[in-house]
A and B are shown apart, each in its own frame.
Chain A
């Protein structure tokens, strides 16, 4: 029988420590919607999305009510659209028509984001991949809920540097196209290496071709719960520290597992994976930076930060893996800047730089995330940042990503307001030396060797 302390512990996590389920994401394959006629493709896509996800939001809300746990987002991920539109899109504008259709479906279904306006170009781009990529700035400018991602490399294929260079230009073009909204389009565009097929988190979510027709993936959260647990054991040994994170991650993940299974059952869609990520929000007390402080850092960015984050990331996985029957997605600690008040404070205090964030991405998911940079940063420099991050992913056999926002008209010291879960961010300094000749080279960086790992 349950005891009263356990019941109140759970409710304290929910009420005081911001425990929530961050997202129920329904992955839907749109491969069977492809047609050689654009209008027919759009019609098929709209119909399939409504048919599969018609009850998603209501089901999520019902589960939240039954268990008394907030389920913050209900979202959809879809097959990378470069594949679905390949037979009917002859121009970037054609792809934008699909984006508008997706946006209408997302609005009708009341999901806050739909991810998968994507292309997987780890080794090379097809004509349709390139058309989709070139349509991204316009697609993100004329839609509200669409998220876009491009996978530019993998451990097995190396890095497609032509795609990296193009994405430098596309990120800049997206920033310019949405400059009236503080370049918000870039907050919905992520460039990945080793992108997982089952990621439930935006902006990098898409429903990979390795997946079934439809699936339920769930992203849990709970940085506040971990922080609170660590505050109770200040000064304890690493053994106690790690055990505490592990046990807390286990409890958090069990809630995700329950919600995922329940959602899958009620929607009649198979359960895919739980993503074990610690995902912060701009709310006070819901911060990964605060966990790092509780571990013993004055500010994130101080020496020791990478080690502390490595420890945190590993213990979250160790605790979470046992709590869930299937684990996947990104699974690790997220370190976005604009979505984490503690990270924002660290940047403002001068403790955290892009270079330190890059080091941190070597040991955690996912990458340089939600970082505002000066609007006059050259496209080649953006491409260089993407290449660095992708190289870390490629060599370390992990997912890495870049979601940076060159805010047009703003420079270091200014602040940008994105609103809602996307938060606000101080514009951070970027190294001013050029890499144009490096990223200007054609072709790709070969895959790394998988032996001689010294």
Chain B
């Protein structure tokens, strides 16, 4: 499993999740977990996904997701999960 964390921050609108999930499905990225909150009208979401069977290299997935986000006014980042696990788990 290649565990990757996708974070999405921006103004809450209809269809954010749909757009991101469609992109992930098109590229064979499996969604493992989703958590989201709305803070002062701002949409904060974290997805844990598995890119093991992804059809594109990690860097390309990351840049395409960021681009997708820019189109709908969202800041999307794609990071390998180890950075969070290392920092917050002993």
Contacts and interface: CB of A to CB of B under 8 A. Distances in A.
Interface of A: 1-4, 6-11, 62, 65-69, 251, 254-255, 257-258
Given A7-B7, A7-B46, A65-B59, A1 B84 contact: no
Nearest to A262: B82
Contacts of B45: 4
B36 to A, nearest CB: 7
Given A65-B62, A254-B87, A8 B82 contact: no
Of the listed residues B37, B78, B83, B85, the one surrounded by the most CB atoms of chain A closer than 10 A to its CB is B83
Interface in B22-56: 33, 35-37, 44-46, 48
24 contacts: A1-B48, A2-B5, A2-B48, A2-B84, A2-B88, A3-B35, A4-B44, A6-B87, A7-B7, A7-B46, A7-B84, A8-B7, A8-B44, A9-B88, A10-B87, A11-B77, A65-B58, A65-B62, A66-B79, A67-B83, A254-B86, A255-B86, A258-B83, A258-B86
State the main secondary structure of chain B at its contact with A: strand
Contacts of B7: 7-8, 11
State the main secondary structure of chain A at its contact with B: helix
Contacts of A8: 7, 44, 46
Contacts of B33: 1
Contact of B84 (A6, A65, A66, A257): A6
Contacts of A258: 82-83, 86
B17 interface: no
A263 to B, nearest CB: 13
B80 interface: yes
Contacts of A68: 77-79, 83
Interface of B: 5, 7, 33, 35-37, 44-46, 48, 58-59, 62, 77-88
A1 B47 CA distance: 11
B46 to A, nearest CB: 5
A6 B88 contact: yes
A369 B29 CA distance: 49
Contact of A7 (B5, B58, B62, B78): B5
Contacts of A255: 83, 86-87
B58 A66 contact: yes
Nearest to A322: B90
A254 B33 CA distance: 24
A166 to B, nearest CB: 46
Given A68-B83, A69-B83, A10 B88 contact: yes
Contact of A4 (B36, B59, B81, B82): B36
A67 B79 contact: yes
